[in-house]
Structure 1
Amino acid sequence: MDRKTILEKGLLLNYLLGELNAKDEELIESALQEDKVLRQEFQKLESDFERMALENAIAPPQRVKSSLEKTLTKYDNDTPVKSLSTSSAFNPARLLVAASLAAIFALTSFWFYNQWQTAEENIRVAREEKEQLQESLQKLSEEIQEVNAMYAQLNDKDVIPLLLKGNKLAPDARAVAFVNHKSKSVVVNPKALPALSEEETYQMWADVDGEMISMGLLPTDKDLVALTYIDKAESLNITIEPKGGNDHPTVERLISNIYL
């Protein structure tokens, strides 16, 4: 059983709680002996449990203690104790003390069990939050790298900025395409395109010898969109298409174009 499997399945926690079968316990114990990282993780887990148990410990209510003391005092003062032979001696007060101690032990055990369960849940939630945070940071890092790469493309000396203005179908539409024929890249800023319905999308096309080739979709909720560079394109064209895009342009919904 390798370290990754043990950590991903939370087997160290199950081992600590005694929830594994004998075979799995032996495997975990063997892994702990051989893997220093696992031992450190297990020791940390034990420390977290001890800390949470101390931080969340709850003392029994004072009324339980007071009630018990009054009951014991009453029986000590009011209950007669008959003198019998040693083998048949019976003392109700002692029996009450024993029963009361057992009740306190049961109550304390119940509280401790509840605190233990709470600590276990807190650890589980903390672990999930940590994983979610790591995923969010990873995604953010990837997005930052992507944006930085796009801005690097825009600052390249070989980039040609092209302004695509809207026609009579969308007179207020604007989009800027940054074309680099040397690196064969295209980045478009579509933010000035009018908003569409949820069932529509913008799509850009390259005209090559009279054939319109799709370069990709233009979602207006992004500042920059990287599209496919098409060799020997004579013009760039933007159309309004059904959600998800189209395999051929809807010419009657062409809103902008520019010749290269």
Structure 2
Amino acid sequence: MDFNNIMKIENQHIEEFLQSGLLDRYVIGDTTDAENVEIENMIAQHQEIQTAYDKLQEELFLYAQTNAVTPPYDLKEQIVNKVLKREESVNSNHENWLSIAAVIVALLALSGLGYLYQQNTGLKQEIVETTTQFENLERDYELNDTQKRILEMRLAFIEAGDTEKYLMRGYIKEEPLRVIAYYNQPAGKAQIEIAALPALEKGKDYQLWADVDGEMVSLAVLNDLKPKTISAEILKKASDLNITIEKAGGSKHASVENLVSSIPLNTIP
């Protein structure tokens, strides 16, 4: 194999290594012992990888400067002890590299930056949190997109030429009650929008009824301003709509004496 082919294979090997993400994980302490040996050999053998490693180290150092926090009072002593233990336990070839790295870390610690530099788990956690935030934003976007489509469908239904509109008015202690019923018989759809709903005493709710052949049939309990779908089949047979005040959660039978609003159907106000 000639020299050019050897160089081509070597360059490809270096490129694959740099793109693997191992070096990035190594810098933040997220690699195994076996991976560490491989990475350190690659750094020692290839100038391109050494340069990439130095750049990552510099970026991490700048990150530490930007986000510096006060280190624990005994951090200096912990680092010195760790350096001494490492120098006693490693082989001579590896010893020089670790000693230099330990001195750099110790200097960073003394300047108030080493604490963050040492907290690899904190940096990894921030990466995880950022990823989670991005995923949450994606979910929010999907949710908002769904809500937008629902709103567009509601507006299309409301504005359709064959949708009848019934505005129910009333007053509760001089506060206005406004409920709008939309009914499209050809489409077989009906819903209500609640524009104003005066507060009631505890244990009470409003309830919407349809008068079908003289019998009051419940359509919905009204205790918030959210739009509600109601039965188009019932409206098809009903002569009018009514709102009463009932016990919280609604009643089986309408309290006609507590009627607060009524409107005949098939008459657009």
TM-score interval for Structure 1 and Structure 2 normalised by the shorter chain: 0.5 to 0.7
The aligned residue for residue 164 of structure 2 is 160
The aligned residue for residue 174 of structure 1 is 178
Structure-2 change in CA distance of 1:167 and 1:104 (3 Å): closer
- What CA distance in whole angstroms lies between the structure 2 residues aligned with 1:197 and 1:123? 50
* AA of the residue aligned to 2:63: N
CA contact (8 A) 1:57 1:115 kept: no
Gaps of 5+ in 2: 1-24, 33-55, 67-98
2:17 is aligned with 1:17: no
- What CA distance in whole angstroms lies between the structure 2 residues aligned with 1:218 and 1:170? 19
Structure-2 change in CA distance of 1:169 and 1:117 (3 Å): closer
2:208 is aligned with 1:240: no
The aligned residue for residue 104 of structure 1 is 103
* AA of the residue aligned to 1:149: M
User: What is the deviation of 1:139?
Assistant: 2.3
User: What is the deviation of 1:170?
Assistant: 6.9
CA contact (8 A) 2:179 2:193 kept: yes
* AA of the residue aligned to 1:258: I
Structure 2 matches for 1:25-174, cutoff 5 A?
Answer: 53=60, 55-57=62-64, 104=103, 107=106, 111=115, 114-166=118-170, 172-174=176-178
The aligned residue for residue 96 of structure 1 is none
2:225 is aligned with 1:226: no
Structure-2 change in CA distance of 1:50 and 1:133 (3 Å): farther
Structure-2 change in CA distance of 1:249 and 1:169 (3 Å): farther
CA contact (8 A) 2:172 2:198 kept: no
CA contact (8 A) 2:64 2:117 kept: no
The aligned residue for residue 260 of structure 2 is 255
User: What is the deviation of 1:50?
Assistant: 7.7
Structure-2 change in CA distance of 1:103 and 1:175 (3 Å): closer
- What CA distance in whole angstroms lies between the structure 2 residues aligned with 1:144 and 1:199? 34
Deviations 1:177-211 (A, max 9, x none): 12111112223232133233565433212222233
Deviations 1:51-106 (A, max 9, x none): 963542459xxxxxxxxxxxxxxxxxxxxxxxxxxxxxxxxxxxxxxxx8696266
CA contact (8 A) 1:216 1:228 kept: no
What SS does structure 1 have at the residue aligned with 2:161?
coil
* AA of the residue aligned to 2:134: K
User: What is the deviation of 1:252?
Assistant: 3.1
What SS does structure 1 have at the residue aligned with 2:196?
coil
- What CA distance in whole angstroms lies between the structure 2 residues aligned with 1:142 and 1:52? 40
What SS does structure 2 have at the residue aligned with 1:56?
helix
What SS does structure 2 have at the residue aligned with 1:190?
strand
CA contact (8 A) 1:207 1:233 kept: yes
- What CA distance in whole angstroms lies between the structure 2 residues aligned with 1:140 and 1:258? 35
- What CA distance in whole angstroms lies between the structure 2 residues aligned with 1:242 and 1:51? 69
TM-score by length of 2: 0.53
- What CA distance in whole angstroms lies between the structure 1 residues aligned with 2:58 and 2:142? 31
Structure-2 change in CA distance of 1:128 and 1:220 (3 Å): same
CA contact (8 A) 1:56 1:115 kept: no
- What CA distance in whole angstroms lies between the structure 2 residues aligned with 1:103 and 1:51? 16
User: What is the deviation of 1:152?
Assistant: 0.6
Identity score, percent: 30
